[in-house]
Amino acid sequence: MSADVTEQQSDDDRQRSRDLSLRSTQPPTQAPGYEAQRLLGTGAYGEVWVGRDLNTGRQVAIKFYAHRRSVDWSLLSREVEKLVFLSADRYVVQLLDVGWDADPPYYVMEYIENGSLDEMLRRQGTLSITDAVDLWKDICLGLAHAHGKGVLHCDLKPANILLDSDNRPRLADFGQSRLSHEQRPALGTLFYMAPEQADLQAVPDVRWDVYALGSILYCLLIGLPPHRNDDSVTHIDTAGDLADRLARYRKLIVTAPLPSEHRRVSGMDRALADIIDRCLAPHPADRFANVQEVLDALNAREQARSRRPMLVLGFAGPVLLLSAMLFFGFRGYEQALRETANVAQQAAVDNNTFAAQLAAEKVTVKIANFFDLCRQEAGRAELDEFLKPLKDLNSLATLNRSLSTDNEITVARAEFVNDPRRAALNSYLDRRLQKYKSAAAKDPRAPKFSSIFVVDRFGTQLGVVFDEDAVASNIGRNVAHRSYFSGIPEVPEFPRATVNPRHIEQTHLSNVFQSSSTRRWKVAISSPLWSDKEEFMGVFVLTVNLSDFELIGSTASADRFPVLVDGRHGESAGTIVHHPLYEELQATSSKLPKEFFEKRVPAEVLNGSNLKDNDGGNYQDPLGEHPLGADQYNRPWIAVAAPVKLPDASQAETGLVVLMQEDYRRVIAPVQQLGRRLLREGLIALAAVIALSIGLWWFVIRLFREPKKEIRVTALNTSQSTPQQDAPTLAQTIKARKKG
């Protein structure tokens, strides 16, 4: 900032003042009533000494105008006039005394201890935004007071602002100042001077000082005045004359981009940056009209900053309240949705429990009907007529003798199969099967049988007929190991007939078994054959395809249907023996895929433990994992099991389990639909609240925000000549700088 000087002295005068300052150990003259103690500095017009008021002991500053011939006494008298005019103003360095008749003349001012603002910036560099604004506001207040008394400073810069003992600013050096009614131009200091001020015909304007204020605050924050850099200084200093120099300065300020370095200062807020921009507007009309407007803008900024915590609280409060409402609302929404889904699921479980029990009872009734039919067929006298002739067959005796050899058994079996009396039994059994088949063709509710056969008391199969076209026959083979004969779980096949093998005593439902030809699951209903003397004569057996069991009737659908499962303990536990998919495949395939039976229904589903803790929607249909069933059955199900019981007083479980499946998604679909509707309504309400809040905040911000005035940057027409008033002094300054 060494170049920020308003110079009015010739080269010779400047050299003489330097020489004088080097040898100054005594003041140029004695000021009556004051004692000059030490040299404070030298200037264009003379020296400034620190002295003491002999009457009060107060420190003062005495300015001696030692270079009389270079002094513009009109300027000096005007400065004294302005200082007198501003007497008692706390923001201005006060004039105490004037020695017009002394040689050299002098005037006495109050002594400001901490030097100039320019010196402070040299010592400690730029200021923080808070310190800079506090200092700048006092400068604005001091300038506003001066303007209020009709005094325009016209050369405001850091070097002309002194700092008192409290580091508060005091305006000094009113040598270029003008009264508001004066029409004479006044040149200030480059880069602190408004562009329109750089004209020797310019009329003083309060907006000159407004521009200087913006430059000072900019300098406090950045360290240099706006637009000042090596290129701009060189461009101006290389001007040929004063007119060219002023024109270059005006053009530089008016056409250069608006300064922006201050906006990058840490902690800079938009309001303060806008104040600086408006002060530095190159066009006077874009600037603040006066210093009071600058103070009003500062006060508005301070009010906005003081309101900021309340505004933030006013914004954060609703946001926090809304966030809390959203949190607890969404939490309550999820909990309500979950509880409602649990209620719907429990209702589905209850409904399906009833349906599964109903289906299981229907199977029990179906089995009871089969039991009755089996007992009726076993007790028919006509059957006995066909069985009696077989007792005398040697081939059958050989088959039932435990000591028969394998060769004897093979020969006897072939003879037995082809015996006409056995064939007559087979014909009788076929007639009975065709009768049931014919009835089933007329009435779908009529019983259907897969096969009918008879076994003698040793377990040898006497005759058999099948509903299928081609099946393997066990005629002549011993089947005493099968559950329909023994009444117990099956054991390995007997190699020979045994005497008095274990047999059933009453009508019996066998274990589930699989057809070797169709892989369909079957069950056998067997009833003992008794002689007139109540002797066990054998077993009459009806076999039924489990796929022919009507479990639930017309209420079944793709989303809700029963499944029959083998619930016995052992390797086959959990095997699906009847499923809607089986019925679909029967129309296109004679055999069910073997892979269907490799996966099992989990035990926790069969025993009902999957329904604990409202977790019934986690069942995955095993057939959903197979490609043939993936499209329709690969989804979560609610599965409820009910055991099928025997149709007798024991009510013992048969080992069959009815599993009622219902699509979990269908059960909770109404809940999810309700949830989506509630969520949609909630989001609409939330959007409305947010929109209303944003609208209110927009209104509040617009209400309290100062409108930002657009600042123009345009080219300046520099073709017109600049008057040469007061040119000699500035021309001398230019010449002196070139020599330096």
| pLDDT of the residue at 704 | 66
**DSSP code of residue 486:** H
- Give the tens place of pLDDT for each residue, 152-176: 989 999 999 999 888 899 998 887 8
Q: Are residues 277 and 359 in the same domain?
A: no
> What's the pLDDT score for residue 103?
82
**What pLDDT does 158 receive?**
94
C-alpha separations of 590 from 243, 535, 548 in Å: 114, 42, 15
**Residues 277 and 365 grouped into a single domain:** no
Task: Tell me, yes or no, whether 290 lies in a domain.
Answer: no
Shared-domain flag, residues 578 and 649: yes
Question: What letter does residue 278 receive in the DSSP assignment?
Answer: H
CA-derived radius of gyration, the chain: 59
CATH of the domain at 142: 1.10.510.10
Q: How confident is the model at residue 716 (pLDDT cuts 50, 70, 90)?
A: very low
Q: Write the pLDDT tens digit of every residue in 176-185.
A: 888 878 888 8
Do 732 and 665 belong to one domain? no
Q: Are residues 481 and 551 in the same domain?
A: yes
CATH, residue 479: 3.30.450.20
SS3 101: coil
Pick from 669, 691, 708: which residue ends a domain? 669
Residue 598 lies in a domain: yes
Read off the pLDDT band of 731 (50, 70, 90): very low
User: How far from chain centre, in Å, is Cα 264?
Assistant: 31
Question: Which of the residues are catalytic?
Answer: 155
What secondary structure letter does DSSP report for 505?
S
Mean pLDDT, to the nearest integer, of 421-426?
A: 94
Q: How far is Cα 14 from Cα 407, in angstroms, rounded to an integer?
A: 150
- Interval 351-355 mean pLDDT: 90
Which residues contact residue 12 at a Cβ distance below 8 angstroms, ignoring those fewer than 6 apart? none
Instruction: Name residues whose C-beta falls within 8 Å of residue 268's C-beta, 6 or more positions apart in sequence.
Output: 129, 221, 262
CB 139 within 8 A of CB 133: no
d(CA 23, CA 7): 23
Confidence (pLDDT) at 720: 33
Q: Determine the 3-state secondary structure of 640 from DSSP.
A: strand
Are 389 and 497 members of one domain?
yes
Cα dist from 43 to 8, 66, 267, whole Å? 10, 10, 38
Of the pLDDT bands very low, low, confident and very high (cuts 50, 70, 90), residue 23 is very low
At 645, give phi and psi (nearest 5°): -110, 160
Note whether residue 530 is domain-resident: yes
Bigger pLDDT: 77 vs 56: 56
pLDDT mean over 644-672: 89
Compare 586 and 720 and report the one with higher pLDDT.
586
Give yes or no for a cis peptide into 28 (omega within 30° of 0): no
What is the structure's pLDDT at 719? 35
Q: Which two tokens stand for residue 520?
A: 């369909």
**Rounded Cα gap, residues 689 and 242, in angstroms:** 65
Q: Which of 634, 653, 669 is the last residue of a domain?
A: 669
3-state secondary structure 512-577: CEECCCCCCEEEEEEEEEECCCCCEEEEEEEEEEHHHCCCCHHHCECCEEEEEEECCCCCCCCEEE
Given CA atoms 177, 180, 186, 189 in this order, what sign does their dihedral have? positive
Q: Say how far apart CA 176 and CA 572 lie, in whole Å.
A: 113
Residues with Cβ < 8 Å from 166, sequence gap 6 or more? none
**Both 652 and 583 in a single domain?**
yes
449-473 in b/e form (b: 16+ CB < 10 A) is bbbbbbbbbbbbbbbbbbbeeebee
pLDDT of residue 493: 84
Average pLDDT over residues 106-126: 89
Angle, helices 206-222 vs 117-124, to 10°: value is 20
Residue 279 is encoded by which pair of tokens?
Answer: 């002060």
pLDDT band at 737 (very low <50, low <70, confident <90, very high): very low
Same domain, residue pair 372 and 440 = yes
DSSP 440-483: HHH-TTS---SEEEEEETTSBEEEEEESSSS----TTSB-TTSH
pLDDT of residue 148: 87
56: in domain: yes
Q: Structure pTM?
A: 0.57
pLDDT, mean of residues 717-740: 35
Note the pLDDT of residue 735: 36
**Residues 555, 542 contacting (CB under 8 angstroms):** no
Rounded alpha-carbon distances, angstroms, from residue 686 to 332, 682, 691: 16, 6, 8
The pLDDT of 663-687, averaged and rounded, is 88
Q: Based on the domain organization, do 660 and 725 belong to the same domain? A: no
How far is it, in rounded angstroms, from Cα 639 to Cα 560? Answer: 10
Q: Which residue has the tokens 């407004």?
A: 210
Question: Is residue 314 situated within a structural domain?
Answer: no
Residues 20 and 100 in one domain: yes
Amino acid (one-letter) located at 191: F
| Residue 739, CA atoms < 13 Å, CB-side half-sphere | 11
Q: How many CB atoms are located within 10 Å of the residue 292 CB?
A: 16
Do 490 and 598 lie in one domain? The reply is yes
The tokens of 148 are what? Answer: 């209020």
| Buried/exposed code over 630-658 (b: 16+ C-beta within 10 A; e: otherwise) | eeebebbbbbbbbbbbbbeeeeeebbbbb
Q: Is residue 572 part of a domain?
A: yes
Domain that holds residue 162: 11-283+720-739
Q: How many domains does the chain have?
A: 2
Do 434 and 580 fall within a single domain? Answer: yes
Output the CA–CA distances (angstroms, integers) from residue 670 to 280, 331, 501, 676, 682, in the order listed. Answer: 68, 20, 60, 10, 18
Q: 93 and 142 in contact (C-beta within 8 Å)?
A: no
Last residue of a domain, one of 648, 669, 690: 669
| CA dist., res. 274 & res. 268, Å (int) | 10
**Percentage of the chain exceeding pLDDT 70:** 86
User: DSSP label at 185?
Assistant: -
CA atoms within 13 Å, Cβ hemisphere of 236: 22
Note whether residue 429 is domain-resident: yes
Q: What are phi and psi of 510, to 5 degrees?
A: -80, 175
Nearest Cα neighbor of 416 from 395, 439, 440 is 395
Other beta carbons less than 10 A from residue 176's beta carbon: 25
Answer whether residue 700 is part of any domain.
Answer: no
**pLDDT value, residue 739:** 39
What interhelical angle do 230-237 and 242-255 show, nearest 10?
A: 150
How confident is the model over 284-289, as a mean pLDDT? 94
What is the number of other CB atoms lying within 10 angstroms of the CB of residue 343?
Answer: 12
